[in-house]
Amino acid sequence: MRRLASVRPGWYLLVAVIVYAVVVSVMLRGSRVQVRELRAAQSSVTAAGAQAAPPARKAPSGSASAGTEAPPGLWFPLPGARVPKSAGDLPGASRPYRHGVSQGFDFTDGDAGIPVAYGQPVIAAAAGEIVRADGNYVEMSQDTWQQLLDSVGTAAGADAGELDQLRGRQIWERLPDGRVLRYGFLSGVRDGISKGIQVYRGEVIGYVGNSGTGDGVAGTTLHPRLHFEIWQGDSFFGEGLSPDEVRMQAASLFAGP
């Protein structure tokens, strides 16, 4: 009792202040932890919501709604392709069987820098308007095919109508600058691609095939290829040029992808 009586009142106050400070510190620390946990939880919910929400659809490059002018140049109609290595697959290459020359590029397996397979997607090389799409194409019979070969084998060669038959199933696209792109030997036209619609650069419009060729007439999928012509008025790209000149001009004609 004497010892307790000898403790001064000030010490009681000091002890009370220390105890109060400890309790407040513990409570504040717990509050900070809760705040951090709450913020972490909110961040997780926000991130999860961002992943779950579908991204806003951007206008494709080259489309009318893109808002900016697309970079110049054509894309290869087969993504990843390059100018064919063989001179026989370039515009202007001789076609003795019809006493004429090729009017476009032939992208074939082993010569286009990428594998070329039957049914492979073909994309629009530029933004433009579809002016022809052979959705209801019917392959020639063996007899009709042979008659066509006999006709184009004469000294006169192939006329415009016969050349049209030799290109098989086709899609034609007119660009804003007036050029017309012709995609030939197709195995099919993509659903929704028809005359009068606008397509953007890179949009799938058809599929690699062998229509209009002997393999296609025979009903096989052998030797698939894509024939691709670029016309300005009555002249085709590469007309009158040597293979080296075609390659030099093609270097600035194509921009990818």
What confidence score (pLDDT) does residue 12 get?
58
CA 195/CA 9 separation, integer angstroms: 101
Per-residue pLDDT tens for 80-137?
Answer: 999 999 999 999 999 999 999 999 999 999 999 999 999 999 999 999 999 999 999 9
Residues with Cβ < 8 Å from 208, sequence gap 6 or more?
78, 116, 117, 118, 119, 120, 121, 122, 185, 186, 187, 224, 225, 226
pLDDT at 252 exceeding the cut of 70? yes
φ/ψ of 149, rounded to 5, equals -60, -40
What confidence score (pLDDT) does residue 72 get?
79
What confidence score (pLDDT) does residue 257 get?
83
The structure's pTM equals 0.74
pLDDT at 68 exceeding the cut of 90? no
CA 163/CA 177 separation, integer angstroms: 25
Show the DSSP H helices in the chain as ranges. Answer: 2-6, 9-52, 142-152, 160-166, 214-217, 243-253
CA 189/CA 170 separation, integer angstroms: 8
**Taking a C-beta distance cutoff of 8 angstroms, is the pair 104, 227 a contact?**
yes
Question: Is 157 exposed, middle or buried (CB count within 10 Å of its CB: 0-12, 13-18, 19+)?
Answer: middle
CA distances from 213 to 166, 205, 209, 221, 227 (A): 7, 21, 10, 11, 11
CA 226/CA 183 separation, integer angstroms: 7
Per-residue pLDDT tens for 182-230?
Answer: 999 999 999 999 999 999 999 999 999 999 999 999 999 999 999 999 9
Residue 241, both tokens: 């040029």
Per-residue pLDDT tens for 29-47?
Answer: 554 544 354 344 334 433 3
**Taking a C-beta distance cutoff of 8 angstroms, is the pair 202, 62 a contact?**
yes
| Three-class SS state of 104 | coil
At position 105, the amino acid (one-letter code) is: F
pLDDT at 172 exceeding the cut of 80? yes
Chain-centre distance for alpha carbon 251: 20
Residues with Cβ < 8 Å from 121, sequence gap 6 or more?
190, 204, 206, 207, 208
**Taking a C-beta distance cutoff of 8 angstroms, is the pair 149, 217 a contact?**
no
**Taking a C-beta distance cutoff of 8 angstroms, is the pair 99, 155 a contact?**
yes
